[in-house]
Structure formats: structure tokens, C-alpha cells
Amino acid sequence: MTTTTPDSALLTHRHGTDGDPGPWSADELERRLRALAAGRYHDRHPFNQRMHRGRLAPAELRTWVANRFYYQCNIPVKDALILSKLPLPAQRRSWLRRIQDHDGHTDGDGGIERWLQLGEAVGLRRAELLDQRHLLPGVRLAVDGYVNFCRNAGVLQAVASSLTELCAPSIMLTRLETFPVHYPWIKSAGLSYFRGRVPQGRRDGSEALGWVRDWARTSEQQEQALAALSFKCDVLWSLLDSVQGAAGRQDHRSA
């Protein structure tokens, strides 16, 4: 499996002859979180690199869309688990927006619906996505692992794991720029999920970062926050490892 390489200098406090150097400032913690996200986000994965350069075949795009749909469906599930851990009504009301963003306020609304429209735009039938017939075992394992992490972790770690949102607007903008150029056969309406995620990611990333800055006061808490974000980066990377492996097997069979 291809993995990103953790930067131990980012993840841990240095313990020298003077013992525990104490916690970082909130600004230093934020710097490390942002550096970790930027260096390990899945926009660097070879599959996404090929996607954004226009090098994916239609079948490869369909494999990605079908498998990423399982992740999309579980986003509101993990967010409901995180919401249940939040101690304040105002925090729960705010986090509820994330669930509504994906589940929608009514049927036919929300991010899951827009991902179904993307599936149709790349040539998949809704039934193919909804019955999970194309779901790869490695993708299921990665996504279920993330949901279970959010179920079992403390509130700080669960919220910190969502900080990949800091990078989400950038990758969505990249897709909005590159898909019409490299994949003109995909109708513009099918890209509505990417459009919606730009402002949502900015809002959600900023909110979660503010909470983590406030909550992670001790060295241990700060390292837990970084480890949680590192784990989430590995989840997204592992998902693409599985998709890339399936695409490689398709190429081998067609050769």
C-alpha cells in the first residue's frame, strides 16, 4: 500500500535534556496542523495527480466515483457521531449543518444527491451506486475505520480528524478547473458537488480549527490532535490506493 510519510517533527514535542518543553502556542499548533494537512492531503496521491492532469480513462473515473460514494454516504454518519460528543448546544447546532449539507433538508437535496448526479454524469446508473456493487473491500475498510474512529475517539480527536477540510476547497477548485478541460464529456451539472464544497469546506475547516486551537492546551492534547489529522490523511490516501489498484487491474485485463 502506498502511504504518505509522517513528519515526526510536526507530530510530537521534542523532549530534550530539560524534559517536557511544554505545549505549543495556539498559533504554533495551527501552523503544524496546516503543514501536516498540506503535506499529506490526498491531492498529492498519484491517482488524484493523474485525474487532475486528464490522464484517467472513463472507466477509472467511474471506479473512483462509485467507491468515493461510500465515503460520501458515511460523512453524515461520522458527523452525527461527532455531534453527539459536543458539549454545548451552540456547537451541536453548528455541527448539524454538516449533516444537512450532505443529507439535504429534503429528498433530492444535499451532497449525497449531488454525488449521485456526478455518477450519472460519468455514465453510472443510480442503482449501481446505491447498491454498492462496485465497492472495493479496501475502500470499505478505510471508510469504516474512519467512522469507528469518530465513534470511539474523544471529541478533540474526532473534530481534529475533520481538519482535512482545510484543504478541501483547493482540491474542489482544481477539479472545477480541470474537469471541463480534460473530461468535456462530463456535463457541467454533474460538477455541482464540487461547487458546493468550496464554501462549505472553508466554513467547516475554519470552525473546526478554532475549536481545536481552544481545546488542545496540553502537549498530550496537541499531539492527539495532530495524530488524528494524520490518521484521517491516511484514510483518504488508503481509499485512493484501493481505487488505483483496481484501475491497474482493469488496465492489465484490457492489455
Reported as a pLDDT band with limits 50, 70 and 90, residue 1 is: very low
87 pLDDT more than 70: yes
Q: What is the pLDDT of residues 36-59, one digit of tens each?
A: 999 999 999 999 999 999 999 999
pLDDT at 254: 47
Reported as a pLDDT band with limits 50, 70 and 90, residue 132 is: very high
pLDDT at 183: 99
Q: How far apart are CA 51 and CA 178, in angstroms?
A: 9
Work out the average pLDDT over 86-98: 98
Contact partners, residue 40, CB within 8 Å, separation at least 6:
4, 6, 230, 233, 234, 237
Reported as a pLDDT band with limits 50, 70 and 90, residue 252 is: very low
Determine which of 19-33, 142-156, 238-252 has the lowest per-residue pLDDT on average. 238-252
Work out the average pLDDT over 131-156: 98
**Ramachandran bin of 187, using left for φ above 0, alpha for ψ from -120 to 50, beta for the remaining angles:** beta
Angle 190-194-197 (CA atoms, 0-180°, nearest 5)?
140
Work out the average pLDDT over 51-69: 98
Reported as a pLDDT band with limits 50, 70 and 90, residue 125 is: very high
Please report the domains of the chain, with CATH numbers, ordered by start residue.
24-254 (1.20.910.10)
Report the percentage of the chain scoring pLDDT > 70: 91
Of 32, 74, 12, 22, the C-alpha closest to 212 is: 32
Higher pLDDT among residues 151 and 8, named by residue: 151
Work out the average pLDDT over 96-108: 96
pLDDT at 17: 43
223 pLDDT more than 50: yes
Average pLDDT of the residues of the chain: 93
